[in-house]
Amino acid sequence: MQITITNRQPHRLKRSWMRRAIRLLLRQEGWSKGDVSIVLTDDEEVRSLNRTYRGKDEPTDVLSFSLREVAAGETTVDLSSLEEELALGEVYISIPTAMRQAQAGERTLEEEVAFLAVHGVLHLLGYEDESQEGYEQMYRRGWEVVHAARPGSDTV
């Protein structure tokens, strides 16, 4: 399993907490192979992706694009059996939005970005947050993983 983190925006931040959290989550979820790509970007790129793929002309904090399923007309082909040969997907995180959320939540930027990365990977693993129950489950699960992966923790 490889985690690739690409920074497309000017703010520098430590990536170790995010990487530890993603590894812990994938291990806990039983996903041992396949790659994850994290793209740290700005509001403009995330807004463009959000408009193109979700029909929402506004920035958001995190977007996930799964590579486990490929739509073919009206048929969906499940590629999960090829797990070891495929990338799990891509997660785009808007750093300006993450900065605003971190400040509002009185968290560090690294903590917020680790949470958003885990949240995005949860989507790649099939979790959904469209319902209140799904949202609460993902929120709880995300923070459990982030706190367990906190620097200095021996959980990972």
Q: What is the DSSP string of 143-154?
A: HHHHHHTSTT-S
Closest CA relative to residue 29, chosen from 111, 144, 136: 144
CA dihedral in degrees (75, 45, 122, 110; nearest 10)?
Answer: 170
Share of the chain above pLDDT 70, in %: 86
Share of the chain above pLDDT 90, in %: 76
* CA dist., res. 115 & res. 17, Å (int): 10
| Diameter over CA atoms, the chain | 48
* CA dist., res. 49 & res. 61, Å (int): 12
Give the fold, CATH level 3, of 2-148.
Collagenase (Catalytic Domain) (3.40.390)
Residue 119: CB atoms within 10 A of its CB come to 24
pLDDT in tens, 58-101: 999 999 999 876 544 455 555 555 555 568 999 999 999 999 99
